[in-house]
Amino acid sequence: QKSATRSTLTAILLTAGFPAFCQTSPQTNTTLLVDIDHRPAISLNGDWHTIVDQYSTGIYTLHQELRKDGFFMNAPFDPNGHPQDYNFANAATLRVPGDWNTQRPELLYYEGPIWYEKDFQHTAVPNTRTFLHIGAANYRTFVWVNTKKICEHEGGFTPFDCDISTALHDGSNFIVLSVDSTRIADGVPTLQTDWWNYGGLTRDVSLVEVPKQFIDDYDLHLSRTDRSVIEGYVHVEGAPAGTPVMVKIPDLHAKVESTVDANSRAAISIPTKSLSLWSPEDPKLYKVEISSGSDRIEDTIGFRTIETHGTQILLNGKPVFLRGISIHAEAPYRTGRAYTQKDVDTLLGWAKELGCNYVRLAHYPHDERMTRTADRLGLMVWSEIPDYWALQFDNPAVLAKSKQQLSEMIRRDRDKASIVLWSVANETPNTEARTKYLTAMVELAHQLDPTRLVTAALLVRTEKTASGSNKIVDDPLGKVLDVIGTNEYIGWYEQHAEGADTTRWDIRYDKPLIMSEWGGDAKAGNHAASGDLHPALWTEEYQAEIYRHQIAMLNKIPQLRGTSPWLLMDFRSARRVNPGLQDNFNRKGLISDQGVRKQAFFVLQKAYLDKSLGKA
Ligand code: GCB
């Protein structure tokens, strides 16, 4: 039904000869500027005028034709003029960044379009281009500046930048955006997820001025074959062949010059002596200065290698065990989408307190503050795109959306040493169409970034045996993955916690395995009677029981190289409607959404700190 609506809309747009602002391509006129959080910017965060537009009245006439006088015109309201059904100037505001659901009680369950409007002053600076940067907007976004249609983007968790230079004038300007959080069957993610569909401009919005020729992308990493060389490229948008580029790493006394080729890309190779490699024990970051013409940016980059050898994961050539926890981008204490540095410091601070050296950032790219901070704290990261559950794997348009989100995730974060794993999927159905689709995704990840490992969280097959059960890992996708991720919920969705004691693992791949999810729900403060040997589900005692039995089982899997149980903190989910216990929250957190540590937190903490889980 919903996709039919969209294709009708596309048809209308094309026949109307209108600028196509709802076509099936996941993005139009957008790019992604790397390291944007280090560039000077004019913040557009703060209050925006907003209009909840349940029926898309701002776009359609009563006969569902495209309006020429839509809300994007931001026409001033005149009580004596033509009757007008909207008035941004008087409209209630929403805070940006921030999901809308947790800002107004009546928007908690809202899924649909909301219009945003912001006025700002601008003075042209000669020989520059101005980009509108949107850190993330869930799920589809359409942008107009001074009534001119600029760009559109699909995908709720990756940033995008739109060149608005030609629409600006000196003096007062305005931006009108429509963000539509409607879930769609052919979306990524699709209709079903186990998290809240937080809509809106959920991350920073700003204006960024850059020179006409500017550094929009680069990749600097340690060579996998020679750990005394930093290699990669710098791309200078708009630069003709021969344009010089300079990269300096003052701490290494390194300074190299290169020139861009016909694709505006300069190859970089920096020989280094006495480089301190990035690791959880010593997360060394180097200041890196990149310049070309009048453009100059600075980054802080760690250098390390990550690879597999048989069933080992090697960090800087040495075997490593990933002691981790899964994390949703849910804001501690206040709920809603996480986006502040405080949110990040709280979540990653808890992960450190738990004894982690690794975090699985589920199930979509998190705010860039998260990966920046993981870089600083020395937490290895699994970063994922929302190829979650049953996407339309036979639909090429959906594959295009997944590819776009993967490309954006990699482009934004490829210079973060913390990220060791790109994940292309979570718990997808084992079908031929799925395997073909995700194989293409794995290939793309390898092609875009040959320096990292590619994984996916797979479902596992269970066979009953006389003494218990066998968990068989033979999903055909495993063939193309570097590291196998598997999710299992012994003690929760299947069997009792003790079931783990009689479970054997049969892993048909000679590759490292990460138990990417396991756990169970407990409501913080819900306790079994003291001395109760069979605590009930939903109690802290039972959750702790699951963890004890799981840890014992996991230790018997010879090729286990990491775990990220589900999960650090309770999070809001529409699927969890049991009153009193869930109340729209998934309670598998080791910590409640109000920051209360449950018993299982301390069980896992002990196992991580004394290394009784994962001796590698
Ligand atoms: C899973 C999913 C995760 C869910 C979790 C659960 O396997 O990957 O997104 O939230 O189980 O709690 O059921």
Summarize pLDDT for 231-289 with one digit per residue, the tens.
999 999 999 999 999 999 999 999 999 999 999 999 999 999 899 999 999 999 999 99
Residue 302's pLDDT is 98
Q: Count CA atoms closer than 13 A to 580's CA, side-chain side.
A: 3
Measured from the Cα of 517, ligand 1's closest atom is 7
Average pLDDT over residues 559-584: 98
Cα 245 to the center of its chain, rounded Å: 31
More confident residue, 171 or 19: 171
First-to-last alpha carbon distance for the chain, in angstroms, is 51
Nearest to 516 by CA among 386, 616, 422, 426: 426
pLDDT tens digits, residue range 185-237? 999 999 999 999 999 999 999 999 999 999 999 999 999 999 999 999 999 99
For residues 414 and 447, the answer to whether their CB atoms sit within 8 Å is: no
Task: State the Cα–Cα distance between residues 446 and 442, nearest whole angstrom.
Answer: 6
For residues 424-429, average pLDDT = 98
Residues 373-393, mean pLDDT to the nearest whole number: 98
| 194 CA from centroid of ligand 1 (Å) | 6
488 Cα: distance to centroid of ligand 1 (angstroms) = 9
CA distances from 447 to 92, 138, 223, 483, 574 (A): 46, 27, 16, 17, 36
Q: Is the pLDDT of residue 444 over 70?
A: yes
Strand 42-43 and strand 46-52: the pairing is: unpaired
Output DSSP code: residue 426: E
User: At residue 464, does pLDDT exceed 60?
Assistant: yes
Cis-peptide into 97, omega within 30 deg: yes
Ligand 1, residue 363: give the atom nearest the CA. 9
The rounded Å distance from CA 26 to ligand 1 centre is 27
Q: Are 214 and 136 in contact (CB under 8 A)?
A: no
Q: What sign results for the dihedral spanned by CA atoms 367, 371, 374, 375?
A: negative
Neighbours of 226 (CB within 10 A): 11
- Reported as a pLDDT band with limits 50, 70 and 90, residue 615 is confident
Q: Is the per-residue pLDDT at 334 higher than 50? A: yes
- Residues with Cβ < 8 Å from 237, sequence gap 6 or more? 31, 213, 214, 215, 216, 217, 264
Q: Give the Cα separation of 200 and 179 in Å (integer).
A: 6
pLDDT at residue number 248: 98
Please, what is the average pLDDT of the chain? 95
Contact at 8 Å (CB) between 439 and 454?
Answer: no
Q: Alpha-carbon distance 371 to 158, whole Å? A: 13
Q: At 6, is the pLDDT very low, low, confident or very high (cuts 50, 70, 90)?
A: very low
Going from the Cα of 570 to the center of ligand 1, the distance in angstroms, rounded, reads 12
Measured distance CA(423)–CA(363) in Å, rounded: 9
Q: pLDDT at position 26, please?
A: 82
State the average pLDDT over residues 402-413. 98
Confidence of residue 413 (pLDDT cuts 50, 70, 90): very high
The pLDDT of 285-306, averaged and rounded, is 98
Percent of the chain past pLDDT 90, that is, above it, reads: 95
Distance CA 609, CA 616 (A): 14
Give residues with Cβ within 8 angstroms of 81, minimum separation 6.
none
Residue that is written with structure tokens 């109690």 in the block: 539
Residues 280/16, Cβ–Cβ less than 8 Å: no
Go through the domains of the chain in sequence order and give each one's CATH number: 2-211 (2.60.120.260), 214-304 (2.60.40.10), 322-609 (3.20.20.80)
| Cα-to-centroid distance, 364 and ligand 1 (Å) | 13
Angle, helices 599-609/540-554, rounded to nearest 10 degrees: 30
Residues 255, 246 contacting (CB under 8 angstroms): yes
pLDDT (mean) for 79-96: 96
Return the residue whose CA atom lies nearest to atom 10 of ligand 1: 194
Tokens of residue 84, six digits: 């007008």
Residue 19: band (very low, low, confident or very high) from pLDDT cuts 50, 70, 90 = very low
Q: Which ligand 1 atom is at minimum distance from the Cα of 193?
A: 9
Ligand 1 surroundings by CB, under 6 angstroms = 194, 363, 426-427, 487, 517, 566, 586, 588
Query: Per-residue pLDDT tens for 109-143?
Result: 999 999 999 999 999 999 999 999 999 999 999 99
Tell me what the mean pLDDT of segment 75-103 comes to: 97
> Measured between alpha carbons, how far is 102 from 338 in angstroms, rounded to an integer?
11
CB atoms within 10 A of CB 412: 23
Q: Compute the C-alpha angle 567/571/577, nearest 5°.
A: 115
Calculate the CA dihedral of residues 147, 153, 158, 163 and round it to 10 degrees.
-50
pLDDT band at 25 (very low <50, low <70, confident <90, very high): low
pLDDT above 60 for 15: no
